[in-house]
Structure 1
Amino acid sequence: MASKQVSFTASRSAGSYTSLRQKLRAMRCQSAVSSARKPKKGEEPTIAFVLDDHLQELQAGAQSFWKEDFFRDACVIVEDKSFLAHRLVLAAYSTYFRNIFTMDHEPNDDGMFEISLSGVQAKVADNVIQSMYTSKLNLSSTNVFDVLELADGLKYTVAVQACTKYLKENLNKENCLRTMSLAISYHLDDLKEDSGKFAAARFEEVKHTAGFMALEWFTLRDFIARDDLRATRELQVFQAVVAWLQKDKTKRQKWAVRLMENVRFPLMTPNEVVDSVESVGFLMSVPEFQDLVKEATHYHLTPLRQSILQSPRTNPRSSVRLPAVLGIGGTGNNGGSIMCFTPASGKWRTFTKMDTVPRHHHAVAVLGGFVYIVGGEEMGRSKSVLRTACRYDPRTGEWLTVASMNRCRLSFQIGVLDDFLYAVGGRVSNEESLCNVERYNPQVDRWEDVASISTPRRLVAVATHNHRLYAMGGSSHNRISNKLERYNPANNHWEQKRPLLTCRFSASLHPVGGRLYLVGGMTVVNGHSMAGMKVVDSYNPNLDQWTRLAPMSVPRGEAGCATLDGKIYVVGGYDWSANKYLDQVECYDVQTDEWSAVASYPNRGAGIACCSTILLRLPEGSDESDGTSIASTAATVPSTTGTAPSTADTVNPVGRSVEDSHMSPSKARESLRSAAVSRSRRELEAEARGKLKRLSSKHKMEEEAGNCTEEGEVMSASLPGQGESYSAFVQPSTTCGTCVNSRAAVLKTRREFATMAAQPSPGVVWSGAAVVASTGAAVPSPVQMVTPVQYPFYMWIQYLRSLWRQYSTWCICPVRCVCAHISDVFLCVRALHILSRRRLRGLGRLGRALSSLRRDRGLCYGNMNGC
């Protein structure tokens, strides 16, 4: 056995001790140096050496004794075979053997301790016992489960870890479910999670395996209850459970209700519930199962009540679960957008466009996972004060209009209390503030008045805590309030509490950890000057007591504010002292009482309404640390308005058909037409744009490889019964992919503008360069027509900006193209007027005239090859 040799003379002097440590360092005996202690008075210095290769020598000696049959005193009997070993080695590695040997276990006449193991294969036992001496455990796909079972029974921790690692690295669709079952039985949480994720991501494959049919009922229950179960439709989960029940119906039918409680019937379409669920007779005879079907039916029949009908069964399945802050509207350029911030990425991105008029100084609230956007002031020249309200589902991207408030109002906030939305105070104009409070009842889709606050006030901070609604501060008639009022819904009464430490308005109020945090706001200084506030105060409702906390770095009012994971995010706002809008975003940690800066908001602005939610899908270009993307969403969720995707063409949430990855344009056209049955306009347009983009990329790659043989095609999709049709042109192989993509953007703009220019369904198709009408389409009368001139100024600005971005990126004559494009839009709108009066007469002549006009100009958007 090798060890470092140290030669020295011991001395009782402190100087000699110091010299000793220096010598040890010089010889790199760090373990000896660290163990060398300073001697006490009258004591010789001592040093404890760590012997090199000590454990290796011990293992080599034990292995030698085992092979040469020296000192063996234990015998493990398996299947009439005896394996001789040493008690000391067995007890060192196995807790089971250690307990056996330390109990009153007597040896036989030969002094040998015998232990019998039942239900174990001899070759498996031999493999495990050898590993205790050699540190080598032989694992394969055929023996790993048996080895894991024996190692777990012997409490042989090192072997269990080796089996776990092997299984993690060799998961496949055939063994993942068995691995998950064993992990549950042996309480191997890491292996359970990894194998469960693997199986959930491949549900459509593993549901057909023997391992799925062999699952215990409780394992199957936990498996189908997973949020990340990736099924294209929830109907597939139901059908898989039915197949498992029918495998042995006599024994398994008693578990039917317990299993079906984890199938998310509200995520099915109404047609699927009626045609595929109610047709299973042996289930429909069970009253508990009938209740589940009734729940799904009510969910679809009452879309406005869905926010108060939420349960685990209404939660869409997705592998993405990201807490996020949403910034909605505001006075900046993003007034018509919803921005999102996730701590995982640390960035702000555009999540979606608002399907309502752009607005600012409105109010938002989250109820049942749905975001309600209420009131505010319309952006643009009109600056109308709104009373309209809408509901947005960030999980599915669907919008729904709900009942409007009884009064127009802006500069107010909303609190959520017992499934009601309470709109408190606000203003109608600069001169008129409101004391009125009204609440929205999703059960009946109606706003109703409740008790008013004590005085008319705008920009009141509102929050709920412990079934009470709190309203703090505000301003009216050049007076700033320090009032704190608390509303009790049981008696419809407001009561006064301890006033604020400082009069303020336009602050934000949020409950965190049993306290209410009042952040920022504005006040008046020197009797007349407006000033933003940095201060943050905390209110304890139980003690009716205020506490001053760490201030923000920037004074601000009219800011957006939201709470996420125990932290308060303050977004944008207005700084009166600097007379400017802000884009800074600050985060307050209530645990440490500290503020930190996070990524700035994309645009400066005030009147931004913020809320927090859990995202099940991500914006384009996301790079979250967990590697998830928008495509991670697992199931297509049926529309809340009752329109359902066709069962003939299953589409995932990104709008991509399951079988179209290598589809030609002609096949794509047929697929789009078949998929259009009962599909909404939004779904259809998203799918058409997605298909065109993928096909364009495919053509570009094939062209570069010299394999592009496709002819120019017009992909189109119709909405039967609605008289609408959309199309996008795919250029022949002589056109580069960049031009194809650019043309797709132009066609998209034209299609959207044509849709705006004629409401309702005009039946207009942009096919190549001509405007045609769908066969049988009901062309609207001139009274229904809306010309572009009638649209607000801000919409024209956005439209011109989009055109310039499209043309300036690839065109050598962007100014001419934009001008010609706008002139053609006016010409096409005029054409719709003509068609509506002439009842489609002269349609061919008009189309030919427009085509000739574009060819004569030779412009890029009319002839891509001319660029």
Structure 2
Amino acid sequence: MDPRKGIISVRVGGSVFKTDKSLLLTYSEYFRALFQSGMMECQQEEICLKSLCARGFSIMLAVLGGKQPILDGDEIVEAIECAAFLQTEILTKHLLDLVNSDNCLLMYHTAATFGLLELYDEAALFIRSMYQDLQEEMRILPGDLVKHVESLAPSVFVAVGAHSTCTLDNLPHSSMRTVCYLDEEKNEWRTLTELPVEASTSMAGVAVLDNRLYVVGGVNGIHKQAVDSCFCYDVMTDSWRMLPSPQQPRYNFTLIGLGGRLYAIGGEYEKTVMSSVEMYDISAETWSFKSHLPRPVAGAACAKAMSRIFVCLWKPMNTTDIYEYVPITDEWQQVTTLIKHQSYGHCMVAHRDNLYIIRNGPQDDFLRCLIDCYNLTTGQWTAMPGHYANSKGALFTAVVRGDSVFTLNRTMTMIYTVTGNMWKPRNQMKGFPRSGSVWTFLLKVPKLRGEPNSNNLNGHTQ
């Protein structure tokens, strides 16, 4: 009998778990080393783990089985201990998805205690991005953990306007082709970097992955000539580089990043709406086609939640179907459907295990938007009460940081707090001094970069 296969009993505390040995071999470095070592335990029908809690091991088995359980405080501690001791990457990734304002301090402290470095880093970054909100609660942390958080670069709200490529003839006007960030302390927009002259952000794919900004495709000119250039901006080195272009030219498509890959979803080419999807592997620097969408779509609303990709597909004017892309099987699976009279989702953002679908109001009213929430854990829809002002499309630029939602237009930056079943207005700051469409996202900008690139946009003539 192959010692790596079959059902095995694992005794943890006073509980015995029967599980597939190959499952442990696949996902746990601890068990992989044990089963491949040739030690006596390889032949035993029962293995005893004396230093772990049964509940933590049970949570690990649930995650290995494809579940995504929401955990409370004690469960988090025991799951972190189990992930660290058994070196289970898939459990660690699930814990990363669960980091939020209610548990980030516990996650951070516990991950530091058990040496789960990936979770330690992620929780610290989350705390840094919510530093003002968590300052009082951080007093419970040891001093060295507080100092580490304070040494990190926070996520800042970043915006770039829709610009076509820039030729030699219009170089004198290229000063507007800048990526800018909001200095929240001084309530000013400041320049982060300039776009390469060959880059277009007009109807392009724009996304952030691993703190790098990607600009793919787009159009140039009034005839919407497709641009095939593809660029990456590394905020840490303040440098741009050109990347290989997708195999299928496209514009007005959705670009989203997950797990070291970018996905170009749908879009248009030569006035034809497409259902094709391409994936860019960051490490291999290659594009490849993936499974087509169930139907063609351009400018689809898309979001990441719990390390999963979701996209809205429309059947105007009443139906919004939400599909999930499953990378491991290369499939699009329908998750749920929202049916509202004369309304469908134009923007989707994620907060914890919730998807928020922002749609036009009654009678196709885009100035008074409605928001519906779909919870991935319960599978339930909730209609958020009231209307939300959508002056000049601000809500369609929504970006979530911690428990805050940033929305933006030329007039103002409106910040909401996600609380209960509503978004509560929290703060209003300066708008982005650019006309036309705007891309918004988050980036962690190094502190040492601070002043050299911090030109004040609001003091410039536009």
Greater fraction strand: 2
Residue 372 of structure 2 is aligned with which of 532, 537, 557?
537
Alignment correspondent of 1:566: 403
- Tell me the distance in 2 between the aligned counterparts of 1:327 and 1:507: 19
Q: How does 1:142-291 map to 2 (within 5 A)?
A: none
- The offset of 1:320, in angstroms, is 6.5
Please give the alpha-carbon distance, in whole angstroms, between the structure 2 residues aligned to 1:524 and 1:362.
Answer: 30
Query: 2:297 & 2:273 partners in 1: Cα distance?
Result: 5
State the Cα distance separating 1:349 from its structure 2 match: 2.1
1:567 and 1:424 mapped to 2: Cα distance? 27
Instruction: Quickly say closer, same or farther: Cα 1:189–1:445, change in 2 above 3 A.
Output: closer
Instruction: Tell me how far apart the structure 2 counterparts of residues 482 and 347 of structure 1 sit (CA, whole Å).
Output: 37
Residues 389/531 of structure 1: CA separation in 2 closer, same or farther (3 Å cut): same
Q: 1:414 touches 1:421 (CA, 8 Å); kept in 2? A: yes
Q: Is the 8 A contact 1:339 1:348 kept in 2?
A: yes
Counting matched residue pairs gives 302
TM-superposed CA distance for 1:612, in Å, is 0.7
Inter-partner Cα distance in structure 2 for 1:554 and 1:462: 19
Q: Is the 8 A contact 1:361 1:609 kept in 2?
A: no
Who is 2:209 aligned against?
367
Write the letter of the residue equivalent to 1:545: Q
The 3-state SS of whatever aligns with 1:396 is: coil
* 1:513 alignment partner, one of 337, 352, 355: 352
**Structure 2 match to 1:552:** 388
Kindly name which structure, 1 or 2, has the bigger radius of gyration based on alpha carbons: 1
Structure 1 position 510, deviation (Å) = 2.0
Task: Return the offset for 1:324.
Answer: 0.3
Mapped contact 1:567–1:588 kept (Cα < 8 A): yes
Contact 2:262 2:280 in 1 (8 A): yes
1:426-441 correspondence runs (5 A): 426-429=267-270, 431-441=271-281
Shift, 1:417, TM fit: 2.4
**How far did residue 460 of structure 1 move?**
0.9
What is the alpha-carbon distance in structure 2 between the residues aligned to residue 443 and residue 436 of structure 1? 22
1:450 CA displacement: 0.9
Matched-pair contact (CA < 8 Å) for 2:265–2:277: yes
TM-score normalized by the length of structure 2: 0.57
Is the alpha carbon distance of 1:532 and 1:459 closer, same or farther for their aligned partners in structure 2, counting shifts above 3 Å?
farther
User: For 1:389 and 1:408, how far apart are their aligned partners in 2?
Assistant: 11
Residue in structure 1 matched with residue 240 of structure 2 by the alignment? 399
Structure 1 residues 512 and 583: alpha-carbon distance in aligned structure 2, compared to 1, 3 A threshold: same
User: What is the CA-CA distance between 1:505 and the residue it aligns to?
Assistant: 5.9
Which of 401, 423, 429 is residue 264 of structure 2 equivalent to? 423
For 1:328 and 1:508, how far apart are their aligned partners in 2? 18
Matched residues in 2 for 1:418 and 1:595: separation? 33
- CA distance in 2 between partners of 1:608 and 1:539 (Å): 26
Q: Note if contact 1:331-1:360 (Cα within 8 Å) is conserved in structure 2.
A: yes
Answer yes or no: is 1:442 the counterpart of 2:282: yes
Secondary structure, counterpart of 1:483 in structure 2: strand
Shift of the alpha carbon at 1:427?
2.0
Q: Partner letter of residue 553 of structure 1?
A: A
Over the aligned positions, Cα root-mean-square deviation in angstroms equals: 3.6
Residue-by-residue CA offset, 1:806-863 (whole Å, 9 max, x unaligned): xxxxxxxxxxxxxxxxxxxxxxxxxxxxxxxxxxxxxxxxxxxxxxxxxxxxxxxxxx
Q: 2:158 aligns with which of 308, 326, 332?
A: 326
- Residues 460, 505 of structure 1: 8 Å contact kept: no
Q: Give per-residue Cα distances to partners, 1:168-191, cap 9 Å, x unaligned.
A: xxxxxxxxxxxxxxxxxxx9966x
Aligned to 2:129: none
Q: Which runs of 5+ in 2 are unaligned?
A: 1-139, 165-172, 455-459
> For 2:451, which of 622, 630, 655 is the aligned residue?
630
Residue identity matched to 2:266: G
SS at match of 1:498: strand
Alpha-carbon spacing, 1:601–1:480, altered in 2? closer, same or farther (3 Å): farther
**What amino acid maps onto 2:384 in structure 1?**
L
Map of 2:321 onto structure 1: 483
Q: Work out whether 1:584 is the aligned partner of 2:388.
A: no
Q: Give 1 or 2: higher helix fraction.
A: 1
CA displacement, residues 345-379 of structure 1 (integer Å, 9 cap, x when unaligned): 3332222211243422323222222111122223x
Contact 1:473 1:504 in 2 (8 A): no
Q: Retained in 1: the 8 A contact 2:230–2:243?
A: yes
Q: CA deviation at 1:471?
A: 0.7
Counterpart residue identity of residue 499, structure 1: T
In the aligned structure 2, how far is the partner of 1:388 from the partner of 1:330?
Answer: 15
For residues 343 and 204 of structure 2, the distance between their equivalents in structure 1, rounded to whole angstroms, comes to 19
Structure 1 pair 336–399 and aligned structure 2 pair: CA distance change class (3 A): same
- 2:333 pairs, out of 476, 495, 517, with 495
Q: Partners in 1 of 2:248 and 2:437 — Cα distance?
A: 19
Q: 2:309 aligns with which of 439, 454, 469?
A: 469
Write the deviation string for residues 186-233 of structure 1: whole angstroms up to 9, x where unpaired.
x9966x799xx8xxxxxxxxxxxxxxxxxxxxxxxxxxxx799xxxxx
Q: Separation in 2 of the partners of 1:630 and 1:484?
A: 43
Secondary structure in 2 matching 1:435? coil
Displacement of 1:401: 0.8
Aligned to 1:388: 229
Q: C-alpha displacement at 1:469, in angstroms?
A: 1.7
User: In 2, distance between residues paired with 1:514 and 1:599?
Assistant: 28
Question: Could you list the per-position Cα deviations for residues 568-612 of structure 1 after superposition, in whole angstroms to 9, with x for gaps in the alignment?
Answer: 21222xxxxxxxxx5433222112531345223233534322111
8 Å contact 1:505–1:523 — kept in the other structure? no
Q: Taking every aligned residue pair, what percent have the same amino acid on both sides?
A: 19
Tell me the equivalent position of 1:413.
254
Q: Greater RCO between the two (CA within 8 Å, min separation 6)? A: 2
State the SS of the aligned residue for 1:590.
strand
Whole-Å separation in 1 of the counterparts to 2:266 and 2:373: 22
How much does 1:523 deviate? 7.8
- Which amino acid is 2:432 matched to? P
